[in-house]
Structure 1
Amino acid sequence: MSITKRQREIVEFLLEHPHEVTAGEIAVEVKVSTRTVHRELQMIEQWLEPLGMKLEKKSGTGIRIDASSDDLAVLRQQLEGKEYVEFTPEERKLFMLCILLDEPEPVKLLALASDLKVTVSTVTTDLDDLESRIRQAGLKLVRRRGYGVKINGSETIHRTAIAALALEFLDESDLFGRQPEQGGSIVNQKLLDMIGHGDVLTVENALWQPDIEWLENIPERQYMKLLIQLSVAVVRIRKGFGIGRIPPLENKGDEVAEQDEMKVPPYMASRLCGVLSTQLGLTFSQDEQAYFHRLLVETEQRIHSSRLLPIDDLILLDRVHSLIDQMQARTHYAFHEDRLLREGLLGHMQPVMERIEGQQMIRNPLLQQIRKDYDSLFEEVKQSVHQAWPGTEVPDEEIGFLVMHFGASIERLRALKREIRAIIVCTSGIGSSRMLSSRLSKEIPEIRIMDSVSWYEAARMPTDQYDLVLSTVDLPMDEHQYYKVSPLLTAEESERLRHFIRTTTLQRQHNKPREA
């Protein structure tokens, strides 16, 4: 079995660190996202198996190669004498799909083979595998001798397919973090180019118009999806791909349609296109403006649907109530009075059950610290889960996330309120800064945002004017002085931030010498 350059780098990093390392530490070293690291680890496990070795994954500790010192010496020799390939088979197919979605003309099989550094026969086999996926997306793969290979279909579906690929294979760190030239795979760089990574910031700033109130309540995944869809449209317009006539939205009843029209009137899309036209030098036809309007309306509809989920999905609601019942009986805290706990658990439950039912690998880098800080609470949550969800195997990593929800609730119920003055350093634009501020005010109301500033300004502010620096990028500061979050502030990040404030920020304030 072949190994790629990136997989080799990961194995070498594991060999250099015989004790456990986290996926996040590996991601920093090889300059990819943690999602990519988890994919690569699955392939590395397959590569190690014939050598009689495996990856050992310890809950809350990390990953290491489980082998004797002699086996590790053999593994080092294997790496030294082994040539690596450019792509894994899955990456090769993805890269081929990206090329075909991006090209307006047929591509010769020989050209694909040359780009991918494989034989024409391998390209043909890969195309056989890709054909069903392309068909499921609503597109058609055309292959003819002397003609080449081309993907046919409407421009609307082309854009949807590109955005779907980006959502599947990119994450927030790719979109908002490092620039493409700073690292990452060739496939990721190709995807970032197809979604117009360089234009995302411009699109985001143009999107934040003063009267789009629903935008501040958009779930982070929907926000990322909307940005990618709009940015893909900009790229395609720049390349000369016109959208054509937009089919009408699915009829959901006059009352619902009227509500959608009131929340997202067509002038919002026209104004957005006008701002982008000025900043990017592009011309947006009436059909393109109609397409942008459709994207905004569909996003608002998804937000509306997600608000109804906790009421409609009685199974999730029952699971949450059962867990809160068990915890309230065990600890005697009035958890049912904490609305934020109930909403947080409802929002957390759906992905939890999807991960458990799909037997997905679950990573919780804070598990060890959680068990140390909340030892008794951890056991209470674990026992409550066992009683509330009989027959469901919930790993300790997920228990750790639930403990963070209940730990935060206990802090709220104890009414130990202390205001934390924070400044935000955000390089992703005013939209991300406003999004982060909005989420902070809802998730952690104890935080009062003093200002959103550049790092240059933050470095010159007197330290007595703030308690905490929140940044979306790495800063040249001591790790105890600031906390890094994504502009989207996921629920997991929110709980990590609470933990940081309790264990670091407030502790530092407590230890400050008193003035004479």
Structure 2
Amino acid sequence: MVLTNREKMILELLLKTSGKHSALSIASYLQVSVRTVRRDLKNIERLLAPQGLQLVQNKDKSLCIQGANQAVFKLVQELANVQPVDLSAKERKLLLFLKLFQSDESMKMGPLAHDLAISSTTLTSDLDDLSDWTNDFGLTLSRKRGVGIQLIGSERAKRTALANFYLFYFNENLIEAIFQLNHQTLAEDQLVLHYFKANHLIVIDQAMKSNMKTLYAELADSDYISFLIQVCIAVQRYASGHPLQDDDQDESISTEMEALPFVGKIAAIVKNQLRIDLPVQEKAFMVTLLKGSRLQNAESIYFDQVITGKAIKKLIQHVSQALHMDLTNDFSLFQGLMAHLEPSLFRIRKDLASVNPLTKQIKTQYSVLFQIIERSLREVFQSIRFPDDEIAYIVLHFGSALEQRKQKRNIRALVVCPTGIGASKMLASRLKKEMKELYSIKIASIHDMEKLELDQFDLILSTVHLPKQKIPCLFVNPLLSQADIEAIKQVTDRLTGKQGQSLFLTDQEQIQEETGDHSLEQLMDEIDRLQAGIRAIMKTFKVIRPKGAETTQAILQMLLSQAADDSLVSDVSRVLCRLIEREQLAGLGIPGTDMALFHCRDRAVRSLCFRIAHLNEPIELAAMDGGRIPVRNILLLLAPEALHPMEQEVIRTVSSSLVDDRESTLIFASANETTIRAKLEANFYQLLIHKFK
């Protein structure tokens, strides 16, 4: 089957939304003339005839493909493997971008148009679009008569612009390419998506996977792909003689290299296998990218950044007041925002652009919520300006919280969604609201999907194109458009008819649906876990006045040795190293106080533990806001590596209590063990009341 890109898009559109489109609506969708669409439709008719299919126009001028189901299914399979004979507009612009990106000299219009096999008019139009894109990243697309065209800007800006171009326009292609690279043998010099060397992607991908355990938590799928391609761009650019310039370096980050062994190990593997020795500034740039990445699971977040935690609680309060709906006790929302906003704030401060392909749709579909959150962010984070792309991500988190409703369901669905924590929750929430047929919905990343028994599901819904699966698999928009809902209903209707009564809820399952997701046993387990966590904190809490310890490390060593004597820590040296590493990642001093919160989760910690060391003379330490403060109270909060969500709430309660208000801050800084214990008891009492009332 020989098709152009536009013809393939029209065919896919007609197959997915049969009877919903006319020539006029297709022309509007593709942004071409109706005459162009009609010309393409004539060619499509000729292609369909040998397949036993025909293109039919209904009385309302809507178009549909008619024929035997087997013939339609065969057409769908063939389309999936068809490579268009021409380049799509986005692929053409990518090739143009790459030529300018890789050239150190100005390029003439004529030869450039000839190389791309396009007209000068098309080239001018593409350059206009590309100029709008590059301007957002601090780059200039210089076009001078007699001189030529050149991309001007810093090396860092060029890399960031190219990476975001790939993520915005070719995200699905990247995921599919990386998936295929791990399952087939490719030539070393083969290029993926016209730029990435196959062997470079394979080596870096395997290095990341094998060393992911050295991070505090796994990256979200979208940020995993983002970090992978940006590292690959950095490696290839450095190898081609385009290192980062002096003004690209971030000195504050380069000092933290030893605290992030993940980047160091990737660099070592790149050196050994690709023979490319990356200098410190390249590794520091990777650290910056890594610190701006989101985590795979909201539950993986440490509730230690008390300043950010307090701001998030305030943000939830503002939004709750505006919506007249109390979200302040939604711990899942707090977790999701904590997981997102920590790296988000870092990206904004470091001027790292984050492109959100759903921004325009979110602003249209959730305009009121977008405005409320935009206003609330301005009030809470007064010194930070959130771009629309970042606000849109936050809207997804609140939208997810607002759309959590129970519905009677009878189809078991697997949601495969690598677009981030908020997006996956949003899709699941929309499904629960719109699709009453769904009995259960499980969210999985692409990595997790390979480990699941797919036979336990009736349907897969994915926000990216997946290879053919043994059960029905639909590609859907993360915001679940009306067309997606109708497509899902067609499949669920077929499944219900095919499997009959086996898909409907039994009486026992109906009772479970009406009483909620948790059984009595699960609820009692949560109560037990929460009580055990509170008791562990209250039992281990002490205020200590160290003698003879003058350095931070000596004070921590003494606190940990006492914890080991109480059988709370099994390996003092290991936990001490983790605490020091954590301090090097970012300051732990709490601004506006004389306290510093040292914390870690590690397998060498046997129980939750909270202790305070009160010093006679202050020690100057790095603060959470980047400054330095004198510290008289070193707070130590330890937790085992494996934590139940209820135990995480206990930790969050301790850390957020430190700066709840001025009175709380004064109490924890007082070094009065009786007063602090009473404050902890009061806060834990409120936690129990609000959690289980």
Give 2:175's aligned residue: 176
Post-superposition offset of 1:275: 0.9
Give 2:215's aligned residue: 213
Give 1:44's aligned residue: 30
Post-superposition offset of 1:341: 4.9
The alignment status of 1:477 with 2:467, answered yes or no, reads no
Deviates more, 1:348-357 or 1:297-306: 348-357
**Separation in structure 1 between the aligned mates of residue 358 and residue 90 of structure 2, nearest angstrom:** 27
Mapping of residues 72-221 of structure 1, within 5 Å:
86=86, 92-124=92-124, 126-127=126-127, 130-131=130-131, 133-143=133-143, 148-171=148-171, 173-178=172-177, 192-196=193-197, 199-208=200-209, 209=211, 212-216=214-218, 218-221=219-222
- Selected match of 1:407 from 405, 408, 413: 405
CA deviations 1:226-260 (Å, max 9, x no partner) are 22210111232443433354644276xxxxx7xx9
Give 1:284's aligned residue: 277
CA deviations 1:311-350 (Å, max 9, x no partner) are 4367851365359964x7xxxxxx8655225545888999
Contact 1:102/1:194, CA 8 A, preserved across alignment: no
The aligned amino acid for 1:113 is: A
- Selected match of 1:295 from 286, 302, 309: 286
Give 1:340's aligned residue: 332
Secondary structure of 2:235's match?
A: helix
Mapping of residues 356-505 of structure 1, within 5 Å:
358-359=363-364, 402=400, 405-407=403-405, 474=467, 477-479=470-472
Secondary structure of 2:107's match?
A: coil
Contact 2:207/2:269, CA 8 A, preserved across alignment: yes
**Separation in structure 2 between the aligned mates of residue 317 and residue 400 of structure 1, nearest angstrom:** 9
The alignment status of 1:7 with 2:6, answered yes or no, reads yes
**Separation in structure 1 between the aligned mates of residue 20 and residue 225 of structure 2, nearest angstrom:** 29
The aligned amino acid for 1:8 is: E
Contact 1:98/1:190, CA 8 A, preserved across alignment: no
Cα distance change of structure 1 residues 21 and 68 upon mapping to structure 2, 3 Å threshold: closer
Contact 1:276/1:282, CA 8 A, preserved across alignment: yes
Cα distance change of structure 1 residues 266 and 400 upon mapping to structure 2, 3 Å threshold: closer
Mapping of residues 17-28 of structure 1, within 5 Å:
19=18
Cα distance change of structure 1 residues 234 and 467 upon mapping to structure 2, 3 Å threshold: same
Post-superposition offset of 1:21: 7.8
Contact 1:310/1:317, CA 8 A, preserved across alignment: no
Cα distance change of structure 1 residues 404 and 6 upon mapping to structure 2, 3 Å threshold: farther
Post-superposition offset of 1:271: 2.7
**Separation in structure 2 between the aligned mates of residue 166 and residue 104 of structure 1, nearest angstrom:** 21
**Separation in structure 2 between the aligned mates of residue 267 and residue 162 of structure 1, nearest angstrom:** 27
Post-superposition offset of 1:206: 1.2
Contact 2:134/2:141, CA 8 A, preserved across alignment: yes
**Separation in structure 1 between the aligned mates of residue 164 and residue 97 of structure 2, nearest angstrom:** 12
**Separation in structure 1 between the aligned mates of residue 199 and residue 175 of structure 2, nearest angstrom:** 10
Post-superposition offset of 1:93: 4.2
Give 1:379's aligned residue: none
Contact 1:15/1:72, CA 8 A, preserved across alignment: no
**Separation in structure 1 between the aligned mates of residue 151 and residue 170 of structure 2, nearest angstrom:** 22
Secondary structure of 2:269's match?
A: helix
Contact 2:140/2:153, CA 8 A, preserved across alignment: yes
CA deviations 1:373-406 (Å, max 9, x no partner) are xxxxxxxxx9xx9xx99xxxxxxxx999648952
**Separation in structure 2 between the aligned mates of residue 246 and residue 174 of structure 1, nearest angstrom:** 33
**Separation in structure 2 between the aligned mates of residue 138 and residue 235 of structure 1, nearest angstrom:** 22
**Separation in structure 2 between the aligned mates of residue 5 and residue 198 of structure 1, nearest angstrom:** 31
**Separation in structure 2 between the aligned mates of residue 198 and residue 401 of structure 1, nearest angstrom:** 41
Secondary structure of 1:236's match?
A: helix
Post-superposition offset of 1:106: 4.2
Post-superposition offset of 1:8: 2.3
Secondary structure of 2:30's match?
A: helix
**Separation in structure 2 between the aligned mates of residue 114 and residue 447 of structure 1, nearest angstrom:** 50
**Separation in structure 1 between the aligned mates of residue 34 and residue 329 of structure 2, nearest angstrom:** 51
The aligned amino acid for 1:176 is: I
Contact 2:14/2:63, CA 8 A, preserved across alignment: no
Give 2:223's aligned residue: 222
The aligned amino acid for 2:159 is: R
Secondary structure of 2:151's match?
A: strand
Secondary structure of 1:406's match?
A: coil
Fraction of identical pairs, as percent: 17
Cα distance change of structure 1 residues 213 and 146 upon mapping to structure 2, 3 Å threshold: same
- Which structure has greater helix proportion? 1
The aligned amino acid for 1:137 is: F
Post-superposition offset of 1:18: 6.4
Cα distance change of structure 1 residues 407 and 344 upon mapping to structure 2, 3 Å threshold: farther
**Separation in structure 2 between the aligned mates of residue 195 and residue 118 of structure 1, nearest angstrom:** 24
Aligned-pair Cα RMSD in Å: 6.4
Secondary structure of 1:149's match?
A: strand
**Separation in structure 1 between the aligned mates of residue 312 and residue 449 of structure 2, nearest angstrom:** 43
**Separation in structure 1 between the aligned mates of residue 206 and residue 125 of structure 2, nearest angstrom:** 43
Secondary structure of 1:243's match?
A: coil
Give 1:271's aligned residue: 265
Cα distance change of structure 1 residues 310 and 111 upon mapping to structure 2, 3 Å threshold: farther
Secondary structure of 2:162's match?
A: helix
Q: Which has the larger radius of gyration?
A: 2
Secondary structure of 1:111's match?
A: helix
**Separation in structure 2 between the aligned mates of residue 47 and residue 180 of structure 1, nearest angstrom:** 37
For structure 2, the residue ranges without an aligned partner over 5 or more in a row are 39-54, 67-83, 182-189, 295-300, 345-355, 374-395, 429-440, 486-491, 507-693
- How many pairs are equivalent? 371
Secondary structure of 2:149's match?
A: strand
The aligned amino acid for 1:225 is: S
Cα distance change of structure 1 residues 229 and 133 upon mapping to structure 2, 3 Å threshold: same
Cα distance change of structure 1 residues 181 and 113 upon mapping to structure 2, 3 Å threshold: farther
The aligned amino acid for 1:277 is: K
Contact 2:257/2:264, CA 8 A, preserved across alignment: no
Give 2:604's aligned residue: none
Post-superposition offset of 1:297: 3.5
Cα distance change of structure 1 residues 107 and 264 upon mapping to structure 2, 3 Å threshold: same
**Separation in structure 2 between the aligned mates of residue 137 and residue 311 of structure 1, nearest angstrom:** 32
Cα distance change of structure 1 residues 469 and 271 upon mapping to structure 2, 3 Å threshold: farther
Contact 2:196/2:233, CA 8 A, preserved across alignment: yes
Cα distance change of structure 1 residues 130 and 299 upon mapping to structure 2, 3 Å threshold: same
Post-superposition offset of 1:283: 1.8
CA deviations 1:470-501 (Å, max 9, x no partner) are 9995465344xxx8999xxx999xxx9xxx9x
Q: What's the TM-score, normalizing by structure 1? A: 0.50
The aligned amino acid for 1:293 is: A
Give 2:627's aligned residue: none
Secondary structure of 2:405's match?
A: helix
Contact 2:139/2:157, CA 8 A, preserved across alignment: yes
The aligned amino acid for 2:30 is: I
**Separation in structure 1 between the aligned mates of residue 479 and residue 36 of structure 2, nearest angstrom:** 40
Contact 2:458/2:471, CA 8 A, preserved across alignment: no
